[in-house]
Amino acid sequence: MEVKIRLFATLREGRGKVLSKDFEAGVTPGLIIEDLGIPEEEVAILLVNGRDGDLEQALEDGDVVSIFPPVGGG
C-alpha cells in the first residue's frame, strides 16, 4: 500500500519534502521514521491526515503522514 510522507523544517535535509512509498499492510508511523533514519526524539509533531497521530497506529492505503521536528513560534 502507498503512504505519502510529508517532512518539514530540518527533517527535509537529505530526505526531501514529500515521499510516496510502498509499505506492507500494518505499517506504522514508528516504522516509517525508523525507515527514514529519523531519531524518535526528533519527532515533535506527528499528524496522520492532518489529525494527531500515534507512532503505533496502523496506517491505511493513501494515508498522509506529516512529521515535524520541535518547532514553534507565534
Partner 1 sequence: MYGYHGKYLRINLTEGTCKVENLDLELAKKWVGGRGLGTKFFVDEVDPLVDALSPENKLIAVTGPMTGTTAPTGGRYMVVTKSPLTGTIASSNSGGYWGAELKFAGYDMIIVEGKSDKPVYVMIEDEKVEIRDASHVWGKVTSDTTRTLMKEIPEKSRVMTIGPAGEKQSLMAAVMNEESRAAGRSGVGAVMGSKNLKAVTVRGTKKVAVANEEELKEVIKTCNTKIRENGVTGQGLPAYGTAVLVNIINENGAFPVNNFQSSQFPGAENISGELLAEKYLVKKDPCYRCPIACGRYTKVDDIEGGGPEYETIWAFGGDCGVDDMGAIIKANYWCNEMGLDTISTGTTIAAAMELNQKGLLKDENLGGVPLEFGSAEAIVEWTKKIGMREGLGDKMADGSYRLCDAFGVPELSMSVKKQELPAYDPRGIQGQGLSYATSNRGGCHVRGYMISPEILGLPEKLDRFALEDKAPWTKIFQDFTAFIDSSGLCLFTSFAMGAPDYAAMFNAIVGAELDGNGVLEAGERIYNLERVFNLAAGITPAEDTLPKRLLEDEIPEGPSKGLVNQLSKMLPEYYELRGWGTDGVPSKERKDQLGL
Residues that bind partner 1 (CB under 8 A): 6, 8-10, 12, 17, 44-45, 47, 49-52, 66, 68-74
26 versus 50: smaller Cβ distance to partner 1 = 50
Cα gap 33→18, rounded to integer Å = 14
Q: How far is the CB of 47 from partner 1 (least distance, A)?
A: 6
Q: How far is the CB of 49 from partner 1 (least distance, A)?
A: 6
In terms of Cβ atoms closer than 10 Å to its own Cβ (0-12, 13-18, 19+), residue 26 is exposed
| 3-class secondary-structure state, position 36 | coil
